[in-house]
Amino acid sequence: MVKYSSLKNDFNYNVPWYSSLYDWILIIIKLIALTFIIWNITYFFFIIFRDEFRNNDGLNDGNDEFNRISNDINDLDEHISIIDSQTNKLLETTTILFLPTMSSHPNIKSMNNVESTITFKPTQSQDYIKPEKTTTTTTTLSTTLASSSPTTSPMYDIGEPTSIIKTPNVNPISDVEVNQKYCQSDECRFLFAYYPPEQETQANQHFLSFLQLAERLNRIMVLTNVGDSHIFACRSFSFDFYYNVKKLKQRFPNVKFITQKEFQDWTNERYEKPDTFHGFISPELPKYMIKNVKPYIKELKQRNCLRFFDLKLNDTTIFKVFNAGDGEKFDKLLVRELNNTKAEVLLVKHEIRHQLFTKLDSMDYADHIIEAADSVSKKLRPYIASHWRMEHGIQRLMPKCADNLIDWLKDKQRKTGIENLYLATDYPLIGEGKKTQSTTWHEISEFNTIAIQKLNSSVNLNTWVSMNSFDYLPKNDKYIKNELMGAGIQGILDKLILVQADYFVSCPRFCGRHQSKFTKKIREARKKVIKEQSSHLKNIWDVWYRVEGVDSS
């Protein structure tokens, strides 16, 4: 009898490994063949019905890129332009043409395109300028505007610098034609002082230094944006919101000017992007030293808003530092070195606290501010004007300082009969009383509030707010609101009203900033007016009664 175990041993043999591998290879080949057959069948039906798919389902495909750009534009949430309200023009439609990317090259003459329309709805605070149908390749700040009367909406650009949104040209023009459009020359050479230091009173002087430099270098001067008491590329208003551009051109007949918005347009429309050179004038020692430094591109683009300009600004850009020196020697050195660069855009900045060249009178302010100041002065006259910058005073002394000012005013009233007081101060006059009229003062104490309350209850107190000085500006515009909440255009208005006052008085030591460049400018202006035999100015400057027995510690 044969045992099971012996049968098992008889049939127990090993299968070769290559036999199993062969079986798996056959399975894989069959799967590949099946996949290939399915793909061919699918492709066959796709070719047959492709035209039908296009007619039925592909009608709107051409607008996908347009819809994406439309959403990007709507997401910007930025102002375009405020214009004279009497024109009642609204921006209803803007045409944007989309072409393949390569159509931006100036040598390409024609391309198929898709034309689409965006509808903008203006806010209550502004009207919009309806642009002509154009081949401009960017969306920029707004149109160039001029000074205007306080009785109408002033014509100036409002809105933060816009992002670069490129759309290729239908009929691209050469870079020479772009240069002719903006510079009236085959070549453009700009000087862009993107951030003169300090607040408006001193920034006014620093900008004049850069303007003198542009004249020496025969470069077109970019009129940098303004706002929040600064001249700065990141600010929301065009240059003519603060300053009178017409008079500036008369003072510098040999200099050409371009607005920041126009300069931005030029950089965006150029096919070959403009090359740059960055020069920084430093107060460091040793004097007259010139050195190359590593480019700091990120800081310029992010903190100084140069990302909004389509410039050739990268690690190959030359960055030089010029250590300032004295007088004519440094003037010649600086001009010689900067004349050596052939870059189309000269970016300049400095941290010097004096004028680089011959000292000049400050730039004239915009007509709409001057007219507003004249209107306030006429309503108040005769009046006493006081500048009280509380920031640097001893806080616990503020109420006593207010008492002493009241005593001084009462004495002057008995002698002259003048009752009206116009107060220019860094204390917050609007809003929730938290944001000061200064970019450097960030904490208000109860002593400051008590001092203002004492003045308000004891004298005929007037301010730019109580006089409704800026009622002609759009009330619901967010940029205007922000400007009036801090240091800004009201500082210029205050300065003009203080200059025209019958009497001018400022705070004594310990009560605030008793010596400032702001006050110095007012004294200089009043002295000049008195020399011209003004009929109503009675003094240049005075200081009200000081607080006695004060320990400055």
Domains of the chain, residue spans: 64-168, 173-364, 367-543
> What amino acid is encoded at 517 in this protein?
K
Give the residue ranges of DSSP H helices in 227-296.
245-251, 260-269
pLDDT for position 390: 87
- Three-class secondary structure of residue 139 per DSSP: coil
Contact 184, 262 (CB under 8 A): no
Give the list of residues 6+ apart from residue 465 with CB closer than 8 angstroms, or none.
429, 430
Give the list of residues 6+ apart from residue 265 with CB closer than 8 angstroms, or none.
136, 138, 140, 182
Distance separating alpha carbons of residues 24 and 527, to the nearest angstrom: 104
- Chunk the chain into consecutive blocks of 10 residues (it has 553) and report each block's average pLDDT, rounded to whole numbers: 39 56 84 86 67 41 38 36 31 32 34 32 31 35 35 57 58 90 97 96 96 98 97 97 98 98 98 98 94 96 97 97 93 96 97 90 97 97 94 90 96 96 91 60 83 95 96 93 89 96 94 85 92 84 84 53
Give the list of residues 6+ apart from residue 399 with CB closer than 8 angstroms, or none.
447, 450, 451, 454
Distance separating alpha carbons of residues 82 and 129, to the nearest angstrom: 8
pLDDT for position 251: 98
pLDDT for position 132: 37
Beta bridge partners of 119: 93
The tokens describing 377, both together, are 């002065």
Question: Cα(first)–Cα(last) distance of the chain, in Å?
Answer: 122
3-state percent breakdown (helix, strand, coil) of the chain, nearest 5: 40, 15, 45
Place of tokens 């009664």: 545
pLDDT for position 450: 95
Q: Kindly tell me the sign of the dihedral angle through the C-alpha atoms of 448, 438, 518, 287.
A: positive
Architecture of the domain made up of 173-364:
3-Layer(aba) Sandwich (3.40)
pLDDT for position 20: 72
Distance separating alpha carbons of residues 363 and 498, to the nearest angstrom: 17
pLDDT for position 21: 79
Q: What angle do CA 239, 245, 246 make, to 5 degrees?
A: 160
For residues 374-406, one letter each, b for 16 or more C-beta atoms within 10 angstroms of the residue's C-beta and e for the rest, the string is ebbbeebeebbbbbbbbbbbbeebbbbbbbbbb
Can you point out the beta strands (E) in 35-138?
93-98, 114-119
Contact 366, 496 (CB under 8 A): no
- Three-class secondary structure of residue 321 per DSSP: strand
| CA 330 vs CA 280, 347, 406, 425, 482: distances in Å | 14, 19, 50, 39, 40
Q: Is 552 left (phi over 0), alpha (psi -120 to 50) or beta?
A: alpha
- Say which DSSP state 387 is in: E
The tokens describing 230, both together, are 């600064």
pLDDT for position 460: 96
CB atoms within 10 A of CB 141: 26
| 173-364 and 367-543 agree in CATH topology | yes
CB atoms within 10 A of CB 48: 9
pLDDT for position 41: 83
pTM for this one? 0.71
Distance separating alpha carbons of residues 106 and 129, to the nearest angstrom: 29
Residue 236: closest CA among 489, 494, 430: 489
pLDDT for position 164: 62
CATH 1.20.272 correct for 367-543: no
